[in-house]
Structure 1
Amino acid sequence: MAKALPQPFDKQKVVAENRRARFDYFVEDRYEAGIQLAGTEVKSLRHGEGSIAESYATAEGDEIWLINSHIPEYSHGNRLNHEPRRPRKLLLKGREIAKLNGAVTRQGLTLVPLSIYFNGAGRAKVELALARGKKVHDKRDTMKERDWKREQQRLLKSRG
């Protein structure tokens, strides 16, 4: 019997997406985490600015931190503006943190942020994935499959 697909998260406005993560990693499990932000960071994200292309998450003790994500300074901010690349705490339940920490230490998985978005309630969220790194031949297979699907669509379009 096939495994049921997980429920998609309520993504109203996607701010930043890590498209490279799906190419570099096999995504095994996804989690929705809140993110602890300063006021000017929220304003900057609402303007659609931000990047998580080179970022990753790490478990330190009983907390999960988002490292190297870039949220630029708010243009109308004053001296209380935030640091663009500061570590940001991710808000998860204790059981989820323990599960993620165990998977990272025992199974050698990686915590990779897939996207930052605002949900229906207007809260900033991070889609966090437990992922296993792909080898070079796996990446080649992914590229072949993607090219073949593109070619299929081209053939169907020309005959249709």
Structure 2
Amino acid sequence: MSQKKHDPNSKLIAENRRARFDYAIESDLEAGIVLMGSEVKSLRQGQANIAESYASVEGGELWLINGYIAPYMQAGVFGHEERRRRKLLVNRKELSRLWNAVGREGMTIVPLVMYFNDRGVVKLKLGIAKGKKLADKRETSAKRDWDRQKARLLKQGGA
């Protein structure tokens, strides 16, 4: 049985598509996230945004800052604050690696993807990245346009 069944628990919640354009990502890692019940319910409905968020090492802990999770209406008064700081779970070795990377010039921790893993647990994929300059962004855009044009020309020539 080499065919892998798609697990109904694993599901993409939110993706930061802008991150790969704005940052040159050097490496990435998976982190757990501490959530309230109403936040998990809201995420099951796919109502989250990590586009403007970032991660920061403060006081020996890793935090997700400015991540948005929509309020869960059925929670009533027991709901959650939409943009609260959420603790991220990584082991000590990864935390020290992140701390060292941020300590270097220009490095930052950017959330790339938020998803449910195969066990139905919310995970956050973080990228250790360096901000791109405007010229680098233009170069990335030009390369993407050229690749698209090249594919179009090859398709026309082969048909």
TM-score (structure 2 length as normaliser): 0.91
Aligned partner of 1:35 among 28, 33, 43: 33
Q: Do the aligned residues in 2 keep the contact of 1:13 with 1:117 (CA within 8 Å)?
A: yes
Offset of residue 26 of structure 1: 0.4
Q: Find the counterpart in structure 2 of residue 123 from structure 1.
A: 121
Q: Find the counterpart in structure 1 of residue 71 from structure 2.
A: 73
Gaps of 5+ in 1: 1-9
- How far apart, in 2, do the equivalents of 1:119 and 1:24 lie? 26
- How far apart, in 2, do the equivalents of 1:32 and 1:107 lie? 23
Q: Find the counterpart in structure 1 of residue 4 from structure 2.
A: none
Q: Find the counterpart in structure 1 of residue 100 from structure 2.
A: 102
Aligned partner of 2:134 among 132, 136, 142: 136
- How far apart, in 1, do the equivalents of 2:80 and 2:118 lie? 25
Offset of residue 119 of structure 1: 0.5
Q: Do the aligned residues in 2 keep the contact of 1:62 with 1:94 (CA within 8 Å)?
A: no
Offset of residue 126 of structure 1: 0.3
**RMSD (Å), alpha carbons:** 1.5
Structure 2 counterpart SS, 1:84: coil
Gaps of 5+ in 2: 1-6
For residues 52-63 of structure 1, what are the structure 2 equivalents within 5 Å? Answer: 52-63=50-61
Offset of residue 50 of structure 1: 0.3
Q: Find the counterpart in structure 2 of residue 148 from structure 1.
A: 146
